[in-house]
Chain A
Amino acid sequence: MTELEIGTSVIEMLRQVLRVKVKMIQPEARIFSDLGAESLDVLDIRFRLEKLFGISITDDEIIASLGENLTNEEIDNAFTVQSIIDFTSRKMSAVMV
């Protein structure tokens, strides 16, 4: 699966979860501040990524992948649509290896 295909699937998944217009789901869009996600939605996103891509994601792994010892504000800024695509691509690569 190419990164473009992963990106397309992630964007559609985010549209379904967060009920926002596709045009809002830009790579730099912040999941919490710009797209209105809450903590339960991050859990939902995780479960859907696991099912969509056949990967296994541990608790807090997505947020932890953003960096160590980040403040809430830094997490908010780093947790973007692109960060989810990148995270998924890395997990997919690991699965293929």
Chain B
Amino acid sequence: MKRVLITGASRGIGSAIALEAARRAYDEVIVHYHENHTAADEVCNDIRKMGKAAIPFAANFANADGVDSLIELVRTYKEIHGIVHAAALNVFKPLSALRPNQWDLCLQISTGSFVQIMNAIIPMMPSGSAVVAVSSLGSRMAIPFYGPMGPLKAALEASVRQYAFECAPFGIRVNGIAPGFVRTSSIEKFPNATELIQLASLQTPLENRIAEPDEIAPVAGFLLGDESRWITGQILVVDGGFSLS
């Protein structure tokens, strides 16, 4: 029984990766979500239609206790073979206008929870397991109104490299993906969303458009799978060439 945990799996890139994991070698997908029960149920139903098991679990990552509740669930199993961290929270404003509580909340949900989950669950992962963290291009380039997300994704990517180094002796690989602009509900939260999507589309040499979530998910699936067994500590940019120019 191969099992994978997907955080932030009720919508956007996270839900697309949950479905991708079910299409692949995983028999059971733990679908973490915050509070959108309806969306999580839809993802779980789609997974079950593929003949795989789905376990929805609501947990608020805003504090360590919430993350612990998910860890407790995972600990009821003997092993877990994959983790995908897609949970994130952002406030779409200039970084220079951020208040400390906004930084703390976004940090805890987007990056702190990943460290907490990894530290608790790594001992449960057998050799051959894989971890994928969902980063973004904001980790390496400035994006207007992207608030704290760029710096927090940079921290996430640094965590990926550190975990890759520390987990390699146990046969566990840790990688990340850095999508460019993707058509999700998050992009609509930019105050300049329409203009941003137009500009990003023009600057994307592949088909002059932004990505759909199901174009990102297979790359995460590849990094989870055995075909990427010689890759660890890497962040794959998935942006249709947006960052080339």
Contacts and interface: CB of A to CB of B under 8 A. Distances in A.
Interface of A: 16-19, 38, 40-41, 43-44, 47, 50-51, 58-59
A41 B35 contact: no
Interface stretch (B13-21, B97-105, B224-232): B97-105
B102 A40 contact: yes
Nearest to A38: B91
Most chain B beta-carbon contacts within 10 A, residue among A17, A40, A41, A47: A40
Interface of B: 35, 60, 62-63, 65, 89, 91, 93, 99-102, 105-106
A59 B102 CA distance: 18
A58 B35 contact: yes
Contact of A47 (B99, B100, B105, B106): B105
Nearest to A45: B101
A46 to B, nearest CB: 9
Interface of A is mostly: helix
Contacts of A17: 99, 101
Contact of A40 (B35, B63, B105): B105
A93 B223 CA distance: 50
Nearest to A51: B63
B105 A19 contact: no
B105 A18 contact: no
A47 B63 CA distance: 8
Contact of B105 (A44, A50, A51): A44
